[in-house]
A = this chain, B = another copy of it.
Amino acid sequence: MTTIGILTSGGDCPGLNAVIRGAVLKGATVHGQEFVGFLDGWRGLVEGEAIPLDRPRVRGLSHEGGTILGTSRFGPFQGPDGGAENIARTLDRLGVDAVIAIGGEGTAAASQRLHEGGIRIVGVPKTIDNDLDQTDYTFGFDTAVEIATEAIDRLRTTGNSHKRCMVLEVMGRNAGWIALHSGTAGGAHAILIPEHPESIEQICEWVTSVRDRGRSPMVVVAEGFTLPGMAQAHSTKGLDGFDRPRLGGIAEVLAPMIQERTGIETRATVLGHIQRGGVPTAFDRVLATRLGMAVTDLVADGQWGHMVALHGTEIVRVGFDEALVDHKSVPEHRYQEMRIIFG
């Protein structure tokens, strides 16, 4: 009987619980695996704090946001009990044979180091920003896009009534996927992403052209977007970050600039944490459930150092090392595909 410890690390996102449920249901039924959950990400693993995870415990979890295991910014090489050797001893003491780490780029990097240090570890990729390479989509992203799109739908009616320009700031520190998809879905007149600089003059040209057609301009901006020459002070840490006091986002920088230059009353909205909470979309629940089920096969096959990923419609296996080579930015052709109809 294999006992597996699961942990969720980094910023939470909708679908984490569905991964946990999928793993426990399939692992128990098909592979005869048993499960425990480490609390608060790597902290629970390092400090040996775990709770039993059986079928009744994961009941009904597929539609619950957040993570029942908690999460934190703690790293596995942190503190006196960190590091591969100590962790190996802790796992041994707890009777845990293998680890499933659900997390983002940092988690994959740490998992790879632990794998190299001899820990039997596999992974499930997680980033609400969708910026992990080697997987078509990460769970949580679709939910965030849906929430942002609903916000655009709402802002549009009030913008039109008041003939205002509305600027919506969505998540995306390094990659503009949420802005690109929600802006496309919501019919935004300009989408601003970290990968592609746009000048304030260009932005105001789009805004003015929309107003001149008798409509109310809608601008969607990723939190990591910067104007040329602007220090990235506002985005040193985003919603995932834990240290940064909230000083106002890029939307609150852009709105007065647009208003001053175009003469159009402009209002900023920062969507913030509501993008990462609540009931996941069906898309994210399906993806998360499938990833959770598939990762138990990695353990059964002893394919350590690998994570599961989505290619097209199929779940595949990818080495942590491959996943870490590149960041998944919005490719230029995807941005240009939409930019051509801005304004």
**What residues make up the interface of A, taking CB atoms closer than 8 Å to B?**
8, 11-12, 14, 16, 21, 25-26, 29-30, 40, 59-60, 62-67, 70-72, 136-137, 142, 145-151, 153-163, 166, 181-182, 184-187, 215, 242, 245-246, 248, 252, 255-256, 265, 267-274, 276-279, 281-283, 285-286, 289-290, 293, 311-313, 337, 340-341
Interchain CB contact (< 8 A) of A136 among B153, B271, B312: B312
Residues of B within 8 A of A59 (CB): 215
Instruction: Report the minimal beta-carbon distance from A304 to chain B, rounded to whole angstroms.
Output: 22
Q: Is the CB of B267 within 8 A of A269?
A: no
Q: Is the CB of B12 within 8 A of A337?
A: no
Known: A158-B65, A272-B269. A153 touches B278 (CB 8 A): yes
Interchain CB contact (< 8 A) of A187 among B63, B155, B181: B63
The answer for the CA separation of A174 and B125 in the assembled complex, in Å, is 34
Q: Is the CB of B265 within 8 A of A155?
A: no
Residues of B within 8 A of A148 (CB): 282
Known: A136-B313, A154-B147. A185 touches B246 (CB 8 A): no
Interchain CB contact (< 8 A) of A162 among B71, B293, B341: B71
Q: Is the CB of B155 within 8 A of A293?
A: no
Interchain CB contact (< 8 A) of A277 among B60, B62, B154, B276: B154
A16, A40, A182, A185 pick with most chain B CB within 10 angstroms: A185
Q: Is the CB of B267 within 8 A of A273?
A: yes
Instruction: Report the minimal beta-carbon distance from A61 to chain B, rounded to whole angstroms.
Output: 8
Known: A282-B142, A282-B146, A313-B136. A154 touches B184 (CB 8 A): no
The 10 closest A-B CB pairs, nearest first, are A65-B157, A66-B157, A154-B278, A154-B277, A12-B161, A185-B285, A185-B282, A158-B277, A66-B161, A149-B282
